Amino acid sequence: MPDLAFYDFTAETNEGGEISFAQYKGKVLLIVNTASKCGFTPQYDGLEALYKKYGPEGLVVGFPCDQFGHQEPGSDEEIEAFCRLNYGVTFPLMAKSDVNGENANIKWNFTKFLIDRKGRVVARFEPVVTPEQLESEIEALL
């Protein structure tokens, strides 16, 4: 069986629908696992700023996750309300999901993956790397 490409994947949205990543072909993406009760939660501001500055060609997609220190305990509806009300988040949020496991490469909330226009992961950033520090990397891909 051949390896799946990024565009072959789908995910559940926080509203219960399904999204195909094929719709993002040709775009630069920043995929981030997020949490509402984490020390890195204020990064939502920077992520939203990137989304507003570079969208629609440079998109941010958030994947809320409760696997790290139980820092995302709410429902999908509560997570969306928190993000929109407290940080003005308008970028797409997926349903709360598991992001780590036996073969995963995510160690904590707000790990970021930069994906180029061909669907390749070109960089992985630790949670301490702020969204503002990613601008030059994103601009290089745009």
83 is catalytic: no
CA 54/CA 116 separation, integer angstroms = 14
Catalytic residue among 30, 38, 94, 95: 38
CA angle 79, 42, 90 (to 5 degrees): 50
CB 79 within 8 A of CB 111: no
Burial of 46 (0-12, 13-18, 19+ CB in 10 A): middle
Give the CA radius of gyration of the chain: 14
Active site (catalytic) residues: 38
